[in-house]
Amino acid sequence: MYQSVIDLAADKMEKTKEVYRQELSSLRAGRANPKLLDRITVDYYGTQTPLNQMANIMSPEPRVLTISVWDQKAIPMVEKAIQKSDLGMNPANDGKVIRLIVPELTEERRKELTKVVWKSAEEAKVAIRAIRRDAMEQFKKMEKKSEITEDDQRRAEGEMQKATDSAIADIDQMGQEKEKEILSV
């Protein structure tokens, strides 16, 4: 009976970890990665369109991204979107392709990025704990309605705690890996 609640909560925790993983992949670590541009949306004729849905993004060199926009008329719109973003990069355009040179990270910027990594990690952990809290409340309600026994409630809470601990450990692991990547020169 309580297993469905645990499965649902575990699924939500997986989704939270995936969101955190995507956030980390869009953080710049000194080398060009097309995922850096995943969060950028372009005002394309009045519609906010993700950049990766209107252009090919490639990394021909370790510190260069090339953006081949399918609609040549949209190049100025794409440039404006990149300049407005928090990437801190200036696009160079030759009329057909936009080039982004990923600057070398300064020590100060590396430290700022690690703070962002851990701030996001903390937000993900808070979300996971909220999922656990909701599940625990459901177990208590089920026990009050006599849907499960007190022993089942304790067992369910124990399983829920194990799932929570595992998810938080995964988030810490991802954060440590990203921090290591950012700090490596």
pLDDT digits (tens, 9 = 90+) for 100-151: 887 777 788 788 888 888 999 999 999 999 999 999 999 999 999 988 898 9
Residues 170 and 110 both lie in one domain: yes
Residues 128 and 175 both lie in one domain: yes
Q: Is-above-0.85 flag for pTM?
A: no
pLDDT higher than threshold 80 for residue 59: yes
- pLDDT band with cut points at 50, 70 and 90 for residue 185: low
What is the number of structural domains in the chain?
2
Residues 91 and 156 both lie in one domain: no
Phi, psi of 105 (to 5 degrees): -80, 135
Tokens linked to 78: 């794409």
pLDDT higher than threshold 70 for residue 90: yes
> How many CB atoms neighbour CB 91 within 10 A?
18
Domain boundary among 58, 77, 101: 101
Domain boundary among 101, 125, 142: 101
Closest CA to 87 of 27, 19, 23: 27
Range of the domain at 171: 3-25+106-183
Residues 172 and 159 both lie in one domain: yes
Residues 111 and 172 both lie in one domain: yes
- What CATH number did the domain enclosing 39 receive? 3.30.1360.40
Residues 122 and 176 both lie in one domain: yes
Domain boundary among 78, 101, 124: 101
Residues 39 and 91 both lie in one domain: yes
Contact 26/39 with Cβ under 8 angstroms? yes
